[in-house]
Amino acid sequence: MTSDAITDIKTTGNVLLAATTGIGNSSTNGEIDLSVAGVAASSTDGGIYLRETDDIALISDFGRVVGLIASNSGDIVLTSDSGLVTVDNVVMANSGAIDVRAAAVDVSAEITGSGVQLVATGNVQVASGNQIISQGSGTTLLISGNSVSLGGGASSNETVRSEGGGTLSIVGTGAVITLDDHSIGSDGASIALDAGTQNITVNGTDTTNEIT
């Protein structure tokens, strides 16, 4: 998807998007172009495709919708051209993949999809007690940023977890990758951590596994 440089919805406040058969689409310029503070979006049978010009938060101000939900089918794609994406409410694609790209990504909620990619030119941070889960057979789970910091989880409920095999990759493109207790877990996925010329560091305890 590429932006057509025309803003579809602009407000200094928040926006709710709800549909049955999709919000935007995966074609060139098919996304909904936003310039808003926060968004909540829900689609029953169809994906959600959004592009924001700068910072954006996933909100729960509305009684009908919390975060980004593709209930039955469809992917979720959220792109910020130059800002921070704050994932502080759930992102879930029950039968689709999730792709979030931004200058930075800050996660303090659960993200679940049949494949998950979080890609930032700056930092990616996942707070302790939250999960990024890739479900389904042979899926891709990728977290890539200038630096990546993964908070602590629990056994079988790791912060970043692949539940259907495939690949699980953590990439630091310019700075460190930081792990905590039970940061990464897998049910058979190939796991790769690549910090390039930088370090992979640990904030957790000496007696607890960071990768399980």
pLDDT digits (tens, 9 = 90+) for 117-127: 999 999 999 99
> Which pLDDT value is given to residue 100?
98
Residue 80 CB neighbour total at 10 angstroms = 23
Q: Is 207 exposed, middle or buried (0-12, 13-18, 19+ CB in 10 A)?
A: exposed
> Which pLDDT value is given to residue 139?
95
Q: Is 13 exposed, middle or buried (0-12, 13-18, 19+ CB in 10 A)?
A: exposed
> CB-based contacts of 207: which residues, under 8 Å, 6+ apart?
none
207 has a pLDDT exceeding 80: no
Residues facing 69 on adjacent strands: 42, 92
**Under a CB-based contact definition with an 8 Å cutoff, are residues 102 and 117 in contact?**
no
> Which pLDDT value is given to residue 186?
94
> HSE on the CB side for 155, CA within 13 Å?
2
The model's pLDDT over 138-155, given as tens digits with 9 standing for 90+, comes to: 999 999 999 999 999 999
> CB-based contacts of 167: which residues, under 8 Å, 6+ apart?
140, 141, 142, 189, 190, 192
Q: What is the pTM of this model?
A: 0.94
> Which pLDDT value is given to residue 34?
96
Q: Place 169 in a pLDDT band, splitting at 50, 70 and 90.
A: very high
The model's pLDDT over 24-53, given as tens digits with 9 standing for 90+, comes to: 999 999 999 999 999 999 999 999 999 999
Q: Quote the mean pLDDT of the chain.
A: 93
